[in-house]
Amino acid sequence: MPVSVPVTISGKEGQFVEVIGDKETILGAVVVVGEQGWFFKLRGDQAIAAKEKENFLSFVKSVKIK
């Protein structure tokens, strides 16, 4: 079951999504700035995705969109 929580990206309210499958996990984030949608995705083995989740969130939160 996907988990979705709010996340701030470039000062705008976006969504962070975590989808854990049998073998792989997808971490994703999306934000709309003006008329553009920005999407970020990490896909990989469950253990690697779990290890990198905080790094992924830190990266997404650090993005500056002009």
- 31 in Cβ contact with 12 (< 8 Å): yes
Structure confidence at residue 36 (pLDDT): 96
Q: Is the dihedral of CA 30, 9, 27, 16 positive or negative?
A: negative
Q: Which residue has the higher pLDDT, 3 or 58?
A: 58
Kindly state the greatest CA–CA separation across the chain. 38
pLDDT at 66 over 90: no
Span 52-62, pLDDT tens digits:
999 999 999 99
Structure confidence at residue 1 (pLDDT): 73
Structure confidence at residue 22 (pLDDT): 93
Span 5-42, pLDDT tens digits:
999 999 999 999 999 999 999 999 999 999 999 999 99
| DSSP assignment letter at 34 | T
Q: Is the dihedral of CA 25, 53, 11, 39 positive or negative?
A: negative
